[in-house]
Chains A and B, each alone.
Chain A
Amino acid sequence: MRRGTELERLYDGHAQPLYAFLLNLTRHEADTRDLLQELFVKIARDPELLAGVRDERAFLIRLAHNAAIDWMRRRGTRDKTREQFTAERISPFAPDANPDEQTFRAALAGALAELPVEQRAVVHLKLWAGMTFEQIAEALDVPPNTAASRYRYGLDKLREHLRPIYEEIK
């Protein structure tokens, strides 16, 4: 019973940011669900995984990141029809009634998809998970300087991609 409530606590505390992170990496809702379930099942099966973990969020992000990278490798070798996969992509952002905002979000989602996955992961965690470079470094198992430089490169590319539309709606 206690483990059931512990799993519920983990889900309620971390599922939303994990979902957003996984969705930004996979852009595929059904696969995101599978990866998220896989992650929670892994913890349910072996609760000792979290024993001694200092930063729960960073640890769960690391599990999610590793699962997403594995998924990409599997997908890369399995999927012959990349066009079909592209058509199934969904945006990690909530839809908006304002057409200008909706256009910007669609462009942002597209620009993010163009980033290398490691840059995209850092940009996502910094901007939308509110993590520091130290936390990101711990989660992705890279030095903090690497996390910071990946963020800078990624942000510069987004700026370059989105400059026209950003200037227009600013």
Chain B
Amino acid sequence: MNDDFEQKLQRQPLRPIPAGWRAEILREGRRVAVPETGNTNTVSPSKLNWRTILTNIFWPYPRAWAGLAAVWILILTVDFSVRDPAPARTEKSAPSSPEVMVELRQQQRLLAELMGSSQTREAEPRKFLPRPQTARAEILTA
């Protein structure tokens, strides 16, 4: 069914593959080849699978992953450098001497007394003062 034009196109010889590529490509293929199982020195299949998965993820874009890792390291470094001084400062400012502790306890006791007295004043129920019956009757008639 091919016409003359198609046959003419089919007859055009293609450029041959450069001979030197074979050795280079096969060498690279052997370098990355997964070792065969059954060999005592080989890695276990589960590790092999993980390695294959990780290689498949990272290999195509090594620069992009390296850049991403560098950015994370930078972020973590900045984060730690900002966060580090804060706990040190609180440790330094913590009361340590006995005088300060005594003073603090006294202040706490005073505060507790004040709070306690005001609470008791507020919490006291109004005392019931019974009135004489005559006084009650006056109120009702008024």
Contact = CB atoms under 8 A, between A and B. Distances in A.
**Interface range on chain B: under 10, 10 to 19, 20 to 34, or 35 or more?**
20 to 34
Contacts of A29: 18
A63 interface: no
Nearest to B22: A11
A158 B12 CA distance: 14
Contacts of A90: 15
Interface in A83-135: 90-94, 104-105, 108, 127-128
Interface string B69-106: 00000000000000000000000000000000000000
A128 B52 contact: no
Interface residues of A, number: 38
A29 to B, nearest CB: 8
Given A4-B30, A44-B32, A94 B25 contact: no
B36 A2 contact: yes
A55 to B, nearest CB: 21
B34 interface: yes
B17 A19 contact: yes
Nearest to B17: A19
B55 A127 contact: no
Interface of B: 4-6, 8-10, 12-18, 21-22, 24-26, 28-30, 32-34, 36, 52, 55-56
Closest 8 CB pairs of A and B: A44-B29, A19-B17, A20-B14, A44-B33, A94-B13, A40-B29, A7-B29, A37-B25
